Chains A and B, each alone.
Chain A
Amino acid sequence: MWNYTFKRIVQGLITVWFIASATFFVMHSVPGDPLLDARATSEEIRKNLEAFYGLDKPLIEQYGIYLINILKGDLGISFTQQNREVNDIIREHFPVSATLGILAVLFAALGGILWGALTALFRNRMPDIVIMFLVVLGVSVPSFVFAALGQLSLVTINDWLGRSLLPVAGWGSVQHLLIPSLVLGLGTMAFLTRLMRSSMLEVTNADYVRTAKAKGLSATQIFIRHQLRNAILPVITVLGPAIATITTGGFVVELVFAIPGLGRYFVQSVQQLDYTVIMGTTVFYGGFLVFMVIAVDLVYGLIDPRVRVR
């Protein structure tokens, strides 16, 4: 077990190195000049800026410095905000994205499991048909449409009530979390509902359910102990990738709801060709995802004895 964990972590580190290198070389082959400004500046100023950001050195030397700095945990100074370190930017904005993402994943997982179980229970009856119709909508409508509609309906409700029920946009209180995370988790929730439903139906006819019934267990117990518990397993396996999609997919929601997350920052920094912010964000996200996947795998191995850890 320890061996395995160690091996996974080393692999993870190598993967992060790969991500960092890929980002570095992609970034430096992007056409465009990050040092240009709307007001033209003199050659002298340019040279000073190049020296400040180390762009005057050969590419391979820049690469070396960049890797060493990453090891030191220093992601450099932003190009557009010349007095702000990328570390600060990540420290301030990532928790926002993470909070939103975690809540969205929870919404999606709980919602998916409950709706899925409910539809399986009501199989082919009205609630099943209605929910599955909504699920189909949820899977096939792009997230930005949801975000825009979500905000619009919020305004309409607030207007109708004559008072602000929930904030329309912004960040800073618990109320600000609700609608954005719901919108963010909706697509995944629909996907998980489908998965949960089919897995529930499969489990209903499983041998151990029949055995439990024969043993005389109460319906409640069978439902919770055997059906639900076993049906949830496949849902949990897809949660890892789901976390990845949701955390990086937060852009849209962050843009529409004016949430100061890292995703929005990334889009802006690409527009400005802010080398250090782009590289820092990508490496950070990449590393985060790699180790999230490793963590999910390890935890899953602990929970489910059927997964044999070699």
Chain B
Amino acid sequence: MADKTFWQSFGALAGLAAGAVGGLLAFMLVLAYFADLTFMEDASSAAVDYEQRSISIVIEQEPPQMDSTRATDAVSGMLLGHLMEGLLRYDGQGNLQPGVAETWEVNSDGAVFHLRDSARWSDGAPVTAHDFVFSWRKSLEPETASAYAFIMYPIKNAEAINLGQMPSEMLGVVAEDDLTLRVEFERPLAFFDRLVAFTTYYPVREDFYESREGRYGADAEDLLFNGAFVMTNWIHGAEIELMKNERYWNRDSIWLNRINIPFITADSNTHLNLFKDGKVAMVQLASDTLENAIENRWSIRRFAEGTVFYLSLNHRPDRLTANLNLRKALYYASDPAELVYRVIKLPGYLPGASLFPSWLKGEHDFLRREYPVPPHPVNVELAREHLELARRELGLDAFPPLVLLVGDTPTSLKQAEYFQNTFKRHLGLEVRIDAQIFKQRLEKATLGQFDMVAAGWAPDFDDPLTYGDLFASWNQNNRGKFRSDELDAQVRIAQGSTHAPERMRAFGEIQRILLDQVAIIPNYERGRVFVADPRLEGLIRRSIGPDPDYSRARIREN
């Protein structure tokens, strides 16, 4: 090709390219206009902004349910905790503080809450006792199908209403006047004050709820708030904006004007990148991103979040794991310390020892100090002896493979592979991993199609009973169908007694029975490692209640 021709062609191409790039840019702007995108990045999207009193954060997923009567998950609970306020609330130390209720009296068969007359909804109307009566009835109505209705069962007639045997007007809750709420219990109860801080107990105003025609909670304008913040913008999957609620009765204790959530993603690498880029005020670290945080010289913080994880064994009679010696073999072969220190590799996690996490309060001290768990070092010899006993009792030549049912997240798969290898290494047992998506795993667990299932239990309220009744024979969440009359009796004591020492003794007994019978194999108590912007102060992390809680946070002036 002649040089001149070549350069002419090249010139033409360059010209075309320039035109194409220009056209592309112009087109992009047109496209952006129609897609409702701004042309400049939001200037106030910095991680923390002292002038604006604004912070930006990232959340792991879109909140699936912002209707407090039906919310079940942690993200919705976290947001609702910023937007709503119940009768009482937890402070940063986990102590109960007055919320909408100014004073309250709780005794063993009922409670009376006196509401403050300064409490307002975000539209200016007062928060009244009727709003609580409405939302509590709503949660229990079978039509609402609230998964958390059970948390109201201590209230008189609640269970019958939830089962459709009674109209919801029969619920043992009365608004004596606008500011007095009287609650009647189904049976004597020791901890009702600790229940009413929970999401399902938040108020909902009837006229507003009805006016949304089934869309209550679907969008920012379909919600009414009585908490520290109001939701001003919710672009699904993309962005949520919370602004200070100027009508909140305790507005003077709120420093932040704005909590911006411009990112919704679960990818831990993206979280790290966003923090590094100065876009978000706090991110959780995974073991994969930990080293990076150290390299960046960030101030890393740790917090024992305290959800308990364990392998739940199948006690149905047709299962091998119904054999106590086999369960003991599995128990002695498992090494929670190795799992935490070698596989999970995150500080804040604690090797599991019991169903009751170490942070639960007992009578005077932590429950686990009052009723300590005997140390359980891994003992392969003992495990093998029990396995041999089990083999003879079951009349087997060799053990068939055991099925370990797990979720399909990378974390649960990693742990499942670890368990598989451990039982193989120590006991020569073949373990088959059954990894299923969330709903399929639940179905298989409910139908009992497993020998072991990896399970976790997050606390709902601040009383050991949030764990204590989990393995009662009537509990639906007892998916391994563990059954012990002795344990059932202790659970009844823990539920019915109002005498603290007696209750704690019952929890101690429950713990002992679960360990003796190897109902579960404890794995770990979850921890959280996170980095926060050094200027952010007053961030609250907690095991029970909305976490993380930014509502009382402030920004330090450089």
Contact = CB atoms under 8 A, between A and B. Distances in A.
A and B touch in the complex (CB under 8 A): yes
Interface of A: 31-34, 36-42, 44-49, 52, 80-84, 88-89, 92-93, 95-96, 99, 102-103, 106-107, 110, 114, 117-118, 121, 148, 151-152, 154-155, 158-159, 164, 167-177, 218-220, 223-224, 227-228, 255-261, 264-265, 268, 270-273
B239 interface: yes
Given A34-B439, A174-B37, 8 more contacts: A31-B443, A41-B149, A164-B278, A218-B8, A219-B5, A255-B265, A260-B238, A265-B237
Given A155-B273, A220-B8, A220-B9, A172 B237 contact: no
Contacts of B8: 218-220, 223
B32 interface: yes
A39 B270 contact: no
Nearest to A166: B41
B27 interface: yes
Given A121-B9, A219-B5, A110 B235 contact: no
Contacts of B12: 219-220, 223-224
Interface stretch (B60-68, B117-125, B498-506): B60-68
A89 to B, nearest CB: 7
Interface stretch (B85-93, B216-224, B353-361, B423-431): B216-224
A224 B64 contact: no
A46 to B, nearest CB: 8
A39 B443 contact: no
Contact of A172 (B5, B21, B38): B38
Contact of B13 (A40, A106, A118): A118
Contact of B273 (A106, A151, A261): A151
A144 to B, nearest CB: 11
Contacts of A270: 437
Contact of A33 (B37, B42, B143, B442): B442
B276 interface: yes
Given A33-B443, A121-B6, A110 B150 contact: no
Contact of B24 (A47, A49, A106): A106
B237 A93 contact: yes
A187 B164 CA distance: 57
A40 B32 contact: no
Q: Which of A38, A152, A170, A271 has the most CB of B within 10 A?
A: A170
Given A92-B237, A172-B262, A158 B16 contact: no
19 contacts: A39-B148, A46-B145, A52-B143, A82-B65, A83-B65, A83-B67, A92-B236, A99-B37, A114-B17, A154-B273, A169-B274, A169-B279, A170-B274, A172-B262, A173-B32, A173-B38, A258-B58, A258-B264, A271-B439
Contacts of A32: 436-437, 439-440, 442-443
A42 B162 contact: yes
A272 B72 CA distance: 14
A223 B267 CA distance: 47
A81 B236 CA distance: 11
Contact of A168 (B28, B62, B277): B277
Given A176-B37, A177-B37, A45 B149 contact: yes
Given A45-B162, A121-B6, A171 B239 contact: yes
Contact of B32 (A45, A84, A177, A224): A177
Interface residues of B, number: 84
Contacts, number: 234
B88 to A, nearest CB: 22
A224 B65 contact: no
B477 interface: yes
Contact of B35 (A33, A39, A95, A121): A95
A40 B477 contact: yes
B65 A258 contact: no
B341 interface: no
B300 to A, nearest CB: 19
B446 A36 contact: yes
A205 B364 CA distance: 93
Contacts of A268: 61
Given A39-B150, A83-B218, A260 B35 contact: no
A305 B235 CA distance: 46
A44 B237 contact: no
A267 B21 CA distance: 34
B438 A168 contact: no
A175 B278 CA distance: 16
